[in-house]
Amino acid sequence: PYRITSNLIIDENATLKINPGVNIFIRAWRDDEYPDSNPPYVISEDPYFAKYIICEGNIIARGTSESPVSFLSDTPDSEDRICRWGSVIIRETCRTAEFQYCNIDHSGGLFENGGAYMGGITCFNDALIIRNCNFSSNITAFEVLSNAENGRYEVSETTSSQLYDYDHSSFAEEAYALHFKFSCNPVGSRVSITGCTFTDNIIKITGVCYSYPNQFMLNVNELVFSDNEWRSENCDYPRFYNLNDYEDNISFFYNNKIDTLMTWAVEGDSYYSGNEFSFFENGIYALGSVSLSDNNFTKTSVFARDLLYSAGNKFKLSDLVVDNRDFSGRENIIDSTQFSLGRTESNKIFMSNDILFSDTKCDTIYNSILLDFESFSFDHSSEIVFKNCLLDSDFGNSGSYIDGGGNIFIGPDSTYLDSVFVNFAEGDFRPCPGSPLIDAGFNGGVNNAATRFGKTSRIFDGDNDGEAVVDIGPYEYGAESSGVIRGVTYDVSNGNRLPYALIYPVDSKEFYVVSDENGDFEFYLPPGVYDIFGSRIFFRDYLYEDIVVENDTEVQLYFWLEPLYPDMTPDNAEEFNGNTLVVYPNPFTPDKERQSVSVKFDLSSSGFCSLSVYNVKGQKIRDILHDNLPEGEHVFSWNGKNNANSAVASGVYFVRLKTSGETLNRKILML
């Protein structure tokens, strides 16, 4: 192991590269050596002070899943004090800061010039990559404190468990899993938090405008949270803050499992899709323009409140299920003070909630299910019309409303819910065969052309009477599938699948999706012609134009994204477990002097191999090899022709070697 007993400074023109398996023990503050009640987390060469790694140049810490890089305290905890080292501080002059397969444990942060910088990794520059890392027992796992414009910050497949103790960390105001804090200046920054698990944490993303100290801002052009789990079993005040005050800001929350989320989106648009919110009093507390679709809220609540009276804000609810049976914290599920819900809202489920509509501009609620209410009320001059809804028979006793006709009323002792839903007890609210919900809605109240939960067309003849009528609720019984777009996102520099790219129709962002850990994605769209946008942090954006989508059809798209900064992506050397793959010359031109490109690879052990060539759409065009090969060096060639022995067009191609379950790729440019 390496031991840091005094502060380690990486000079501006230097690069520190830390290899797999390296353990770094950093000098921690020790209670028995320094009697002051507050531990000395300041930059100092005092031997009693916690030590730091300060990077003014570059730092690349790349471990592996089997041999991670570890940043650890050199002192075990005592009974009355947690012993922490300082921080890895990434200064503004740093060009490359990358951490892959790292363990960061027992960091304490830094106090400098009156500021508190609390991250195990504290970043001041405009780029940071954290992948496959594990943070544990830190005051804050990582922190971005940047004024940089167009900053890019990626955190993926990373875990954080705080296990902090306020008695032992009284010098810290709060402890966070992650903390992003920007000034007014960094317009256009992009933050991506994907595939991570946060346990027992407080999540905080804020910004501060120094011109107006009492106002908070987060000027982030694109904020993506996807496939994360937020757990807070042992945290008294778990919070997530998202304060945006930049009119072009977009925040995407996709496929997360969250037990608490509190969001402020003052001016920017926030989109929530495919998320599960559960077991906390305030599921979402939203300010600004918010779109909710295909989300489940279980034993939690939804608040929409516009205290700033911002013009043009909206709280868009699409295919929403809020199920709070057997949950005491059911009050004020929708509190929309000075908030426009839109002129109409349709196809929702509110189960066992108490609702307050306050100063809302919503006139009519169509085709929705509202059952088991103790109360609902309207704090404005006009009453809301309910039309073609499934309601309790005593719904009117809970609050004054207007019956717009077409409503179905269920008595308080009704026992036929299983003849309405597939499985009411388990929360499966799809219409069952013969359900009174089928074709019982009002087509004029439909505000979108496709369901999100069922991924089907919105209006369908479910009872086969020759007339297509929308169902009550967010599902459409028996409907044909919407059009589906499926595909893969790739890294054009090496041909590898690229996870966690954001894909969405330019003019219909509520249908967005994020590719999974393998780069696969799919999403459903109503019929139409779309421009489909693909983006990922540290990569150039990609756009498909005029994509035609029809019901019950599939469109395949392949997004080849080019790295913006090759030195901020994983090494391009194609080597894995001792196997290597080389192509030469590259680029090459098939002509009389050189009819082919050579493909050389070394095998660390004998076994079955396949060698193929793919185009940029991911289609295999040529099989070169399918055979068992011995250990050692092998050379094959490709003459620029496909399996039909026809010459292919000039452009980018990929050679792919598969052996023993491992895959190596090399990009080829044919001129």
pLDDT in tens, 54-93: 999 999 999 999 999 999 999 887 776 778 898 999 998 9
**In this predicted structure, what is the pLDDT of residue 669?**
77
**In this predicted structure, what is the pLDDT of residue 353?**
57
What is the rounded radius of gyration, in angstroms, for the C-alpha atoms of the chain?
28
Q: Computed from CA positions of residues 496, 497, 501, 503, in that sequence, does the dihedral angle turn out positive or negative?
A: positive
Which domains, ranges and CATH numbers included, belong to the chain? 1-177 (no CATH), 483-566 (2.60.40.1120), 573-670 (2.60.40.4070)
Q: Computed from CA positions of residues 615, 620, 625, 627, in that sequence, does the dihedral angle turn out positive or negative?
A: positive
Supply the pTM of this predicted model. 0.71
Going by pLDDT thresholds of 50, 70 and 90, the confidence category of residue 565 is low
DSSP 450: B
Residue 381 zone, left/alpha/beta (φ > 0; ψ -120 to 50; rest): alpha
**In this predicted structure, what is the pLDDT of residue 303?**
53
* Contact between residue 547 and residue 530 where contact means Cβ atoms under 8 Å apart: yes
DSSP 622-639: EEEEEEEE-SEEEEEEE-
CA distance 426 to 437: 18
* Contact between residue 492 and residue 510 where contact means Cβ atoms under 8 Å apart: no
Going by pLDDT thresholds of 50, 70 and 90, the confidence category of residue 352 is low
**In this predicted structure, what is the pLDDT of residue 341?**
39
The more confidently predicted of residues 600 and 394 is 600
pLDDT in tens, 172-216: 445 566 777 654 444 567 788 888 887 766 566 654 433 333 333
Task: Tell me the percentage of the chain whose pLDDT exceeds 70.
Answer: 65
φ, ψ at 12 (rounded to 5°): -60, -35
* Contact between residue 277 and residue 253 where contact means Cβ atoms under 8 Å apart: no
SS3 (DSSP) at 434: coil
Going by pLDDT thresholds of 50, 70 and 90, the confidence category of residue 289 is low
Strand positions, DSSP E, 255-378? 257-258, 264-265, 269-273, 276-286, 289-293, 296-304, 315-318, 321-323, 344-346, 349-351, 355-357, 364-366, 369-371, 376-378
**In this predicted structure, what is the pLDDT of residue 213?**
33
pLDDT at 112 over 90: no
Considering 78-82, 316-320, 581-585, the range whose residues carry the highest mean pLDDT is 581-585
Going by pLDDT thresholds of 50, 70 and 90, the confidence category of residue 258 is confident
* Contact between residue 166 and residue 509 where contact means Cβ atoms under 8 Å apart: no
CA distance 426 to 423: 6
pLDDT at 465 over 80: yes
Cβ-defined contacts of 460-468 (< 8 Å, 24+): 462/431, 462/438, 463/438, 463/439, 465/439, 467/439, 468/439
CA distance 561 to 501: 9
Asked if omega into 499 is within 30° of 0 (cis), the reply is no
